[in-house]
Structure 1
């Protein structure tokens, strides 16, 4: 029983990560919290599907179609498709209809289905045709800069572009880093000090909410209900 996931980084400023996977006798998984949204393509029993998967504010169980293949593009924070507001997709998704093995429709135009190796070219076209835009204020905030606008404007623009508050993005990112470190064998008490948690219970609450696992469960692993993609940033 396995959910085989492969992923890679990207040199594109618009892409956080590209991934693909295949399900093999796995019916459920734990979808961990993520501040990023992605465009997902999958084929199951000869049917091709496309959907925009929004950010996830907490971990939750998710069904997995058996013997399906998946491919996804995870977008950098601050990237959005204005015609599908990300703020409306938090903890949800939007299906893009009429997909075939060759193409699908996006904002009134036909698009060839991308794949794991040509995701960057596909995203460059999205940017050229203004299907995908980036908010420079989010970029500035993430770099630690202070945009020349009011704090209220920063908050509003950040939520509009990411679907989440800055605090939620920080907490999700820290929990994901903690989970990766624990899976790599770093003792939980070291993770607490390294990532700035107050104590063991603070780490436990964070992992339970955002990862859906305790530290011990992360150490032991549970192949019957795998986690969605976790990776080093």
Structure 2
């Protein structure tokens, strides 16, 4: 059966999005590329898991087995954990050594398991404990703002906080925006001009690499045998 999911924006400068989902039965999911890292919590066949999952630089396939429920906090660019550099979990992740229905272990300490409604309060606790920090310049330049420091310093700070280059972030996020527009019925040629692709083949290659779908497949999702992971329009942190 299709994955049931919902997501919401956040008023926290540290958080881009909060989401949750549920799946039943065995199926394959296409996980689309993302330039943000997440804390993810899920229960599968009665077993609770918690993990930090890094940015994904290409679409990939994942197996979903049995009944599962998941919840995640997607962090804004510029927010990271000093004890867990994002560069070390790009296209991967680190699972908590212990998780239950009530708590999980992070940075060697036990924390109460957050949920969809109290994610921001949990994030504030991490900030107060100095486990989560933020470089506001990173999010500003990723969104197209002008930096007040040299370009090499900006590159180092962006890479340090996100694990990716500015160019990689822009390519991933542009492909996600293109997928949303095409799924909404916007003609591919219009998407090419609107988002600055060279031509339709350039757009097609980006969709295949980062989304794992063609334009035709995005327009007709009911014809796909596998589900697509959460695809949403990016909003600036702090804007709901």
For 1:175 and 1:7, how far apart are their aligned partners in 2?
20
Where do 4+ consecutive residues of structure 1 move more than 4 Å?
A: none
Matches within 5 A, 1:1-233: 1-221=1-221, 222-233=223-234
TM-score (norm 2): 0.93
State whether residues 3 and 26 of structure 1, in contact with CA within 8 Å, keep that contact through their aligned partners in structure 2: no
Residue 175 to residue 113, structure 1, CA distance change in 2 (3 Å)? same
For 2:144 and 2:181, how far apart are their aligned partners in 1?
24
TM-score (norm 1): 0.96
State whether residues 142 and 166 of structure 2, in contact with CA within 8 Å, keep that contact through their aligned partners in structure 1: no
For 1:74 and 1:65, how far apart are their aligned partners in 2?
23
The offset of 1:146, in angstroms, is 3.9
The offset of 1:176, in angstroms, is 0.2
State whether residues 41 and 72 of structure 2, in contact with CA within 8 Å, keep that contact through their aligned partners in structure 1: yes
State whether residues 32 and 58 of structure 1, in contact with CA within 8 Å, keep that contact through their aligned partners in structure 2: yes
Q: Show structure 2 runs of 5+ residues with no match.
A: 235-240
Q: Show structure 1 runs of 5+ residues with no match.
A: none
What is the count of residue pairs matched by the alignment? 233
The offset of 1:145, in angstroms, is 3.9
Residue 216 to residue 144, structure 1, CA distance change in 2 (3 Å)? closer
